[in-house]
Structure 1
Amino acid sequence: MPLKKLQLKAGVNRENTRYTSEGGWYECDKVRFRQGTPEKIGGWQRISTSVFDGVCRSLWNWVTLGGQNLVGVGTNLKFYIEQGGLYYNITPIRATNTLTNPFTTASGSATVTVTDAAGGYGLGDFVTFSNASAVGGLTLNGEFQIQTVASGSYTITASSTASSAATGGGTVTAVYQINVGPAQATPLVGWGASTWGSGAWSTGASSTESIRIWSQANFGEDLLFSHGDGPIYFWDASGGVSGVGVELSTLSGASNVPTTQKFILVSDINRFVFCFGANTLGSATQNPMLIRWSDQEDATNWTPGATNQAGDLVLSNGSRIVAAKQARQEVLVWTDSALYALQYVGAPVVWTAQLVGENISTASQNAVAYANGVAYWMGKDKFYMYDGRTKPLKCDLRKFVFNDFNEEQYDSVFAGTNESYHEIWWFYCSSDSLVADRYVVYNYLEQVWYYGTMTRSAWLDSGLRTNPLAATYTYNLVNQEQGVDDNETGVTAAIPAYITSAQFDLDDGHKFAFIWRLIPDIRFDDSEAGSPSATMTLLPLTDSGAGYNNPTSVGGSNSGSITRTAVLPVEQFTDQLYTRVRGRQLSIKVESSDIGVTWQLGSPRIDMRPDGRR
């Protein structure tokens, strides 16, 4: 018989059975498609040995007038500026208190009780002491994290144990950073857990405490940043990385700056600063559907007037604003049920809101990516796109993604672009995970999907740096698509990658076929190993309902009557491989697990002949 070319269509499809998806690919990890063929994705390298505190959910890259390439790094514990691989703490200060003999030590213990009747601090908050004198053999100058909280006092942990029980410290200055936020969403159940009027009378309600997510944007060379339900902060780049953020409302000339909001955005048109879900003008009451904006080119003036363009508007479709994204000559705003396009029309109206999509959902504040003039986002049960019209995005992995999804961690969902490969990436928490451990990718050039496992908490593809930046749960930033291995922690590790095809018929599927030779078509360009190799596994089946060599594997039948598989190592100059397998259907798997290896698969061919009906 002539050689059979295994030319499979691009993309991974999990919407049907392995047999129904004949002619394509069925499962993968750490693999993408380029020019219609699968290849291993690039590696990642940490940008430095430095680390930050907390889980990062927000990254923003810009360049100052002096040429400094900076990244804002917002975590649940602090806010940093990254420059040259170092993380500089610019977390705003909540309060500065002068305390008298506030420390109480216990002999042989590192736990120190601090008395501060002013309150306002919480578990996990950070405080910095200065001018403290020794007490109990300890001099407690420096930064500490609050370990426990009581009425009028809290505890910290010293770097060593006290030599005696004592109270003292003299006149101490205590500088408190703003309160920290949650790293994961926490279910809340009981009285007061949800909105007023929700649930049945006399029954407990339920809701979820949101994670700490920052929004940020540069205003010229300076930075504006905020977290949900907090004020807007301002960082002055001219003061250098030693300066901390301050509330925007404290700047000279500031007028009616919102005191609370969900997130911010700076428009491309005339640099309006937008606050979404802000408090109403002249009131502390927060309206989750209210949008307020500053005067053009002025981040401090929020008082509407005849001589400026500050203003506000309230959206009507939905109960809260979820996300916003700068698009081409418009700002897109998502509520929990609709999509609006904000368009600049000039004074006196300034901005108008046009309803461009309804009966939709949006998973989170960061679930939207914008590429090539199109907005893509993850909803709560499907994907969407907006290219002038709002429509569902056909997804070959929809059931696979949403059937294994931790719905309590919607806030952890985030999207990012990888422009070099025409990709939109979404990271999300699988059903048993509290961290974003899965990703799904849409390649908008080839219009195909693929997926995998990877733990990340934020992503930024800014164009101002060579590679996409990603934040990890090991509290650092990594350059994605750098090298071919995992260098997240400084120790080089292999990136296991594989792809498995759907089942396809051998010959007409009626008779068995005997496969005796495989001609691989794989290349190892850009591999760093001296002798790169991968493994090809042939997985024949007696029929489409049978299992592979391991009957308990995905797609297996738990049957003892199975057909032998063939595991074939493929090296750089392997031209053909000999084997002995038979079946009616076949699936092929390509994988690698060695350091320094990357690969791209072409169109392998198999040599086979008819081999009876049983």
Structure 2
Amino acid sequence: MPRIVLELPPGLNSDDTTYSAAGRWADGSNVRFWRGKAEAVGGWEAIINTPLTGVCRKVFGWTDNANNLNIAAGTHSALQVYQGGALFDITPFGPPTLLGNNPLAVTNASPVVTVTHVAHGLTTGDSVNISGATTLATITPNGTFPITVLTADTYTYTFSSNANNNTSGGGGRVIITPQKALPAGNIDGTGGAGYGTGTYSTGTWSSPSTADYFPRTWSLSAWGENLIANPRNGGIFTWTNNTSSRATAIVTAPTQVTYALVAPTRQVFALGCNAEAFPYAFDPLIIRHSSIGNNGEWLTNLAASTAREYRLPGGGRIVCGAVMGENLLIWTSSALYLGTFVGSLAQPWRFDKVGDQCGCIGPNAFAVVGQQAMWVGPNLQFYVYTLGSQPALMPCPIQDDFADFMAPAQTDKITMSSVAPFDEVRIDYPDSRDGVECSRYLAAHIPTLMGSPENAWYRGVMARTAFVDTPPSPNSYPIGVDTSGNMFWHEKGQSANGGPLSWFIETADNYLDPNSVMQMRGLWPDFKDQVGPVSVQVISRFYPQATDYTVSGQIMGPGQERSDVRATGRLAKIRYSASASPSFARFGNITIDATPTGRR
């Protein structure tokens, strides 16, 4: 009685015919490859039973000076923070708006200030904060005041003292911040003007957007123990760890920013923003940063200021950026730039293009692990960059499924994260088979980034709109957020928040004997640390394009040695699956008990 042993290398391979992948795993869900073998992913448990408000697009964990864990979550409609076992709304007031030159007018012997604020959208009784105004007619009318609307483009407020002349002024840096929560942004992308802003081939090549067609995403980072937050195409806000206070606008920073981050030099960067000089036009390739150690100083003409402005060459638009060691990576829609701190007062940073035709598809579609970065390009291919080298395509043997079913115009929702406990990079994305929200993921074992022969890719069905690696805090785990706003610790336990954890893994077609029809009588699975029952199926056929015959074996409990099965054919696939609470198994080799039955 011959016994056939299948010793399968790590990783799924499904982009070719099933027989072309013989001797490999071909399909699976919620099973990873770790230390060369397959195992079910860990479970997840709720961090808090209160869901977030809105659809979460970014989650970020950091610790304060007392080593307390904070978790910030940016949704399409709110900014919230988890601290001390509770959830707090810290949605900032806004948006901050930079007005035109000299937008204020006063009348002699009157405290009434008239503001020209085109298409302000405010109503009588709303309060606004005015900052950055210069003195006019002996008053400097900054502060917070209720307004009276005159027209769609003008309103008035009453200052604390009278002007002594009829004049207009205020200078070129008057910022108006409505004192009500930031309005909700888009949940979904719609496609639209400008390369990369929506569906493929929509708009003109390399032109900037003329409207906001993006789902609201956030960039979140830490300034010491404080939070820096930027809703895409909005201002930059800071939160100082007081749960009774909202995040507040850094009113001296640019007011329209694509992506914000904090550099190792303690400078806040605005990537893709409005220019410093009048008329303060938005330019999708401009980079501005604050002075070293001062996130409120952004003007370049101040004495000893290290704030500066740069413009990247080429076309397209800045999409996102990341810190890599002491350097910065900045992706446009078509290229990758490396930012290096050179320390010159005239030019503190320099930005060099390190790759072309390798832009990033969305603001969260990248991950940095040590000296390497991985991201998704606008062509839905995967790229990898190692400091000191050139960006390169990263082969993925399960890429077709990802590209073929990407939800149209929703690529800005793609989110990527490392999962340090398992040397993993994970890509959550919206799959059109499930709708327009993130519903599935791909993952790669990090050694593949180095060209390791362990080219291990895998995937799963799991709805996570935001995901982040383990925060720097004791007893924490990776964090994922589902479409309903529920936050979970991942890789914790062996259930789906107390419910059944579902997974499966399936081999490609393997010839048992190309010259003979074989009858399979049973399997000796090689399981380790099994928890819960595992179902065993054999899918057989007589020729590569013949009909599948599926036979189920015995459901195997922990410690069971053999699963009896009766299946006949030349080729066979083996499938393991489970849906139980708790559930786990790690898989070694497969031994098939088979005997020839004839040549037909």
Residue of 214, 219, 235 corresponding to 2:218: 214
Query: Do residues 225 (structure 1) and 235 (structure 2) align?
Result: no
What does residue 246 of structure 2 align with? 244
Higher deviation after alignment, 226-235 or 340-349: 226-235
- Structure 2 alignment gaps of length 5 or more: 97-118, 128-151, 154-177, 448-453
Deviation at 1:48, TM superposition (A): 1.4
Higher deviation after alignment, 462-471 or 422-431: 462-471
RMSD (CA atoms): 2.6
- Structure 1 alignment gaps of length 5 or more: 97-117, 129-150, 153-173, 250-255, 550-563
User: Contact 2:258/2:320 (CA < 8 Å) preserved in 1?
Assistant: no
What does residue 422 of structure 2 align with? 421
Deviation at 1:548, TM superposition (A): 1.4
Deviation at 1:207, TM superposition (A): 8.0
Query: Do residues 340 (structure 1) and 337 (structure 2) align?
Result: yes
What does residue 576 of structure 2 align with? 590
Residue of 512, 521, 531 corresponding to 2:526: 521
* AA matched with 2:246: V
* 1:517 to 1:81, Cα distance in 2 relative to 1, 3 A: closer
Query: Do residues 274 (structure 1) and 269 (structure 2) align?
Result: yes
What does residue 186 of structure 2 align with? 182
Deviation at 1:547, TM superposition (A): 2.3
Query: Do residues 20 (structure 1) and 25 (structure 2) align?
Result: no
Deviation at 1:28, TM superposition (A): 0.5
- TM (normalized to structure 2)? 0.80
What does residue 32 of structure 2 align with? 32
User: Contact 1:217/1:266 (CA < 8 Å) preserved in 2?
Assistant: yes
Taking the aligned partners of 2:326 and 2:358, their CA distance within structure 1 comes to 23
Residue of 294, 298, 302 corresponding to 2:298: 302
What does residue 133 of structure 2 align with? none
Taking the aligned partners of 2:234 and 2:283, their CA distance within structure 1 comes to 13
Taking the aligned partners of 1:232 and 1:276, their CA distance within structure 2 comes to 11
What does residue 318 of structure 1 align with? 315
What does residue 402 of structure 1 align with? 403
- TM (normalized to structure 1)? 0.78
User: Contact 2:325/2:370 (CA < 8 Å) preserved in 1?
Assistant: no
User: Contact 2:553/2:564 (CA < 8 Å) preserved in 1?
Assistant: no
Q: What aligned pairs does 1:115-134 form with structure 2 within 5 A after superposition?
A: 120=121
Residue of 449, 455, 461 corresponding to 1:447: 455
User: Contact 1:79/1:89 (CA < 8 Å) preserved in 2?
Assistant: yes
Higher deviation after alignment, 87-96 or 77-86: 87-96
Query: Do residues 471 (structure 1) and 481 (structure 2) align?
Result: yes
Taking the aligned partners of 1:241 and 1:208, their CA distance within structure 2 comes to 31
Deviations 1:236-285 (A, max 9, x none): 23xx2101122112xxxxxx5212211101011x2111000111113331
What does residue 511 of structure 1 align with? 516
Deviation at 1:372, TM superposition (A): 3.4
Taking the aligned partners of 2:563 and 2:185, their CA distance within structure 1 comes to 57
Deviation at 1:407, TM superposition (A): 3.0
Deviation at 1:309, TM superposition (A): 1.7
Deviation at 1:94, TM superposition (A): 3.4
User: Contact 2:58/2:466 (CA < 8 Å) preserved in 1?
Assistant: yes
Taking the aligned partners of 1:334 and 1:542, their CA distance within structure 2 comes to 50
What does residue 561 of structure 1 align with? none
Deviation at 1:50, TM superposition (A): 1.6
* 1:340 to 1:533, Cα distance in 2 relative to 1, 3 A: same
* 1:606 to 1:500, Cα distance in 2 relative to 1, 3 A: same
Taking the aligned partners of 1:524 and 1:592, their CA distance within structure 2 comes to 14
What does residue 355 of structure 2 align with? 357
Deviation at 1:590, TM superposition (A): 0.4
Deviation at 1:189, TM superposition (A): 8.8
User: Contact 2:321/2:329 (CA < 8 Å) preserved in 1?
Assistant: yes
Deviation at 1:431, TM superposition (A): 2.2
Residue of 543, 567, 580 corresponding to 2:566: 580
Deviation at 1:54, TM superposition (A): 0.5
What does residue 325 of structure 2 align with? 328
Deviation at 1:223, TM superposition (A): 1.7
SS of 1:318's equivalent in the other structure is coil
Deviation at 1:120, TM superposition (A): 2.6
SS of 1:176's equivalent in the other structure is coil
Q: What aligned pairs does 1:87-166 form with structure 2 within 5 A after superposition?
A: 87-94=87-94, 120=121
SS of 1:38's equivalent in the other structure is strand
* 1:258 to 1:175, Cα distance in 2 relative to 1, 3 A: closer
Taking the aligned partners of 1:121 and 1:425, their CA distance within structure 2 comes to 43
* AA matched with 1:212: R
Taking the aligned partners of 1:374 and 1:217, their CA distance within structure 2 comes to 19
Taking the aligned partners of 2:517 and 2:64, their CA distance within structure 1 comes to 68
Deviation at 1:232, TM superposition (A): 1.1
What does residue 505 of structure 2 align with? 499
SS of 2:180's equivalent in the other structure is strand
Taking the aligned partners of 1:311 and 1:199, their CA distance within structure 2 comes to 32
Taking the aligned partners of 2:598 and 2:267, their CA distance within structure 1 comes to 74
Taking the aligned partners of 1:36 and 1:183, their CA distance within structure 2 comes to 39
